[in-house]
């Protein structure tokens, strides 16, 4: 079985009247387990469309996505939903935490969505939060956390189902420089120690030192 994420000759276009507008043009990328890659490019270059296709949220017009051995074009909507929950960890620009849940319950909510919470799930959640420097914050609510702590909680939430692929969309957008470095360095450490295939879309050139490869996207085309 092919591990990691392989995107092969993916094109995405939209019909606008009689015109065909291309959002992505023949995009190919392969990310292995333990590899952390960045995709940078100006607004409107196709980065969001690319991440949506990589995350099984959007279907390509042409080409193929192979996520940990699953050809996404062959899957039903129900199977795609299962892949998003079990195989992909999403880290968004804002942490999107639930205001009335404490840090530990934020993480376990993902487990509840996929079934019941077992004792070992709780143990793993506490271990993750410990690794991310949040052990003293287990019972804290989002309004009691700093921006960096919220993003670290979001990283733990992305990892709780032990997904094979991590997709981060501008994870430092709302952070100052110190917190941004802290968060991306933690993502990089988790990716390598847990052997995840990870892609970070970012405008933040300061964060590229943590990545194994940097791709540029312009006008829907991806290049190294």
* Plot region of 136 (φ>0 → left; ψ -120 to 50 → alpha; else → beta): alpha
Sheet holding 70-71, edge to edge: 19-31, 5-16, 62-67, 70-71
Q: At what angle do helices 147-159 and 119-131 cross, to 10 degrees?
A: 140
Q: What is the pLDDT of residues 62-119, one digit of tens each?
A: 999 999 888 999 999 999 998 998 899 998 877 788 999 999 999 998 888 877 888 9
Tokens representing residue 132 in the block = 């991310």
Domain ranges of the chain: 5-223
Residue 157 confidence (pLDDT) above 80: yes
Residue 2 confidence (pLDDT) above 80: no
Spatial distance between the Cα atoms of 150 and 144, rounded to a whole number of angstroms: 9
Q: What is the pLDDT of residues 7-18, one digit of tens each?
A: 999 999 888 778
Is the separation of the CB atoms in 91 and 153 below 8 Å? no
Residue 1 confidence (pLDDT) above 80: no
pTM of the complete model beyond 0.85: yes
Q: Could you tell me which CATH number the domain at 5-223 has?
A: 3.40.50.300
Is the separation of the CB atoms in 201 and 39 below 8 Å? yes
Query: Sorting pLDDT into bands at 50, 70 and 90, what band is 151?
Result: confident
Q: At what angle do helices 103-113 and 119-131 cross, to 10 degrees?
A: 130
Is the separation of the CB atoms in 137 and 149 below 8 Å? yes
Spatial distance between the Cα atoms of 96 and 88, rounded to a whole number of angstroms: 17
Is the separation of the CB atoms in 92 and 65 below 8 Å? no
- Helix H, strand E, coil C: the string for 30-68 is EECCCCEEEEECCCCCCHHHHHHHHCCCCCCCEEEEEEC
Sign of CA dihedral 64, 65, 68, 71: negative
Residue 15, φ and ψ in degrees, nearest 5: -85, 130
């Amino acid at each position: 079985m092919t591990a990691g994420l392989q995107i092969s000759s993916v094109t995405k276009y939209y019909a606008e009247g009689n015109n065909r507008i291309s959002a992505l043009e023949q995009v190919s990328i392969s990310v292995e387990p333990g590899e952390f890659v960045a995709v940078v490019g100006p607004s409107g270059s196709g980065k969001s469309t690319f991440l949506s296709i990589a995350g099984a949220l959007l279907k390509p017009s042409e080409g193929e996505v192979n996520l940990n051995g699953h050809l996404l074009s062959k899957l039903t909507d129900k199977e795609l939903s299962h892949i998003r929950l079990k195989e992909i960890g999403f880290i968004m620009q804002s942490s999107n935490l639930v205001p009335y849940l404490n840090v530990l319950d934020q993480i376990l909510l993902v487990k509840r969505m996929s079934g019941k919470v077992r004792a070992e799930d709780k143990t793993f959640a506490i271990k993750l939060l410990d690794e991310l420097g949040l052990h003293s914050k287990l019972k804290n609510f989002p309004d009691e956390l700093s921006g960096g702590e919220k993003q670290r909680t979001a990283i733990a939430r992305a990892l709780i189902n032990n997904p094979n692929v991590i997709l981060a969309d501008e994870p430092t957008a709302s952070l100052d420089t110190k917190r941004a470095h802290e968060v991306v360095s933690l993502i990089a450490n988790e990716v390598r120690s847990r052997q995840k295939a990870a892609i970070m879309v970012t405008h933040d050139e300061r964060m590229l030192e943590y990545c194994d490869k940097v791709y540029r996207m312009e006008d829907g085309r991806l290049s190294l």
